[in-house]
C-alpha cells in the first residue's frame, strides 16, 4: 500500500499540533492559576457580600436586598463553569497534569456545593421567606459557612499542588 505524501504531511502536522498543544510546567500552572484566581475571587465576593448584607441577627422586620448578592452569584457560577474546562488543558508533565486534575475536580465539587448552598440562601432571602419562617436562618448560615470553608481548603490544596511543580522545570 502506498501512502500519499499529502496524507503523510497532514499526519505530521496533526502530530506536531498535538505536541505543541501541551504546555510547559510554568505555562500550564499560569493558565490554571489565571482561571482559578478569577473563580476564587468571584466566590470570595459572594461570601463578602453575604457577610455585609445579611445581619448577624436576622429578624422578620429586616429588609434584606439580595440584588447585589444575586449578581455576584451569577458571576461566580460563570467563573466556576469556566473552571470546569481546566482539566482539558494539557501539560507536558503527566505527573503535574494528573495531580492538578485531581485537585481541580475537588475544587470544582467544593465550589458547586458552595454555590448550591448560596442559591438556597438567596432564594430564602429574596422570596422573603425569613419574614414568615425565621427558623432556617441558622441552618442556612451554618451550611453556607461549612461549604465555604471546604471550598477554601480545596482552593489551598490546589495551590499547593501547583506550587509543587514550580521548581521541577
Domain ranges in the chain are 23-168
Under CATH, what is the fold of the domain 23-168?
1.20.120
**In terms of DSSP H, where are the helices of the chain?**
5-20, 25-53, 67-83, 94-126, 137-163
Q: Tens of pLDDT along 14-71?
A: 333 444 589 999 999 999 999 999 999 999 999 999 999 999 999 999 999 999 999 9
The pLDDT-based confidence of 7 (bands split at 50, 70, 90) is very low
What is this structure's pTM? 0.86
The pLDDT-based confidence of 108 (bands split at 50, 70, 90) is very high
The pLDDT-based confidence of 12 (bands split at 50, 70, 90) is very low
CA 40 vs. chain centroid, Å, equals 6
Q: Measured between alpha carbons, how far is 160 from 42 in angstroms, rounded to an integer?
A: 20
Mean pLDDT of 64-82: 98
pLDDT confidence of residue 36: 97
Neighbours of 49 (CB within 10 A): 18
Q: Measured between alpha carbons, how far is 44 from 151 in angstroms, rounded to an integer?
A: 10
Amino acid at each position: 500500500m502506498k501512502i500519499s505524501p499529502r496524507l503523510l504531511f497532514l499526519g505530521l502536522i496533526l502530530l506536531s499540533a498535538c505536541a505543541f498543544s501541551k504546555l510547559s510546567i510554568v505555562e500550564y500552572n499560569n493558565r490554571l492559576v489565571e482561571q482559578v484566581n478569577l473563580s476564587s475571587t468571584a466566590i470570595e465576593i459572594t461570601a463578602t457580600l453575604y457577610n455585609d448584607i445579611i445581619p448577624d441577627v436576622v429578624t422578620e422586620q429586616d429588609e434584606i436586598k439580595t440584588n447585589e448578592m444575586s449578581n455576584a452569584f451569577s458571576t461566580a457560577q460563570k467563573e466556576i463553569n469556566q473552571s470546569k474546562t481546566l482539566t482539558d488543558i494539557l501539560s507536558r508533565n503527566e505527573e503535574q497534569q494528573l495531580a492538578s486534575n485531581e485537585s481541580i475536580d475537588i475544587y470544582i465539587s467544593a465550589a458547586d456545593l458552595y454555590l448550591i448552598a448560596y442559591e438556597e440562601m438567596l432564594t430564602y432571602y429574596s422570596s422573603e421567606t425569613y419574614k414568615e419562617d425565621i427558623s432556617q436562618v441558622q441552618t442556612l448560615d451554618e451550611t453556607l459557612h461549612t461549604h465555604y470553608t471546604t471550598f477554601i481548603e480545596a482552593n489551598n490544596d490546589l495551590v499547593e499542588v501547583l506550587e509543587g511543580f514550580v521548581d521541577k522545570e
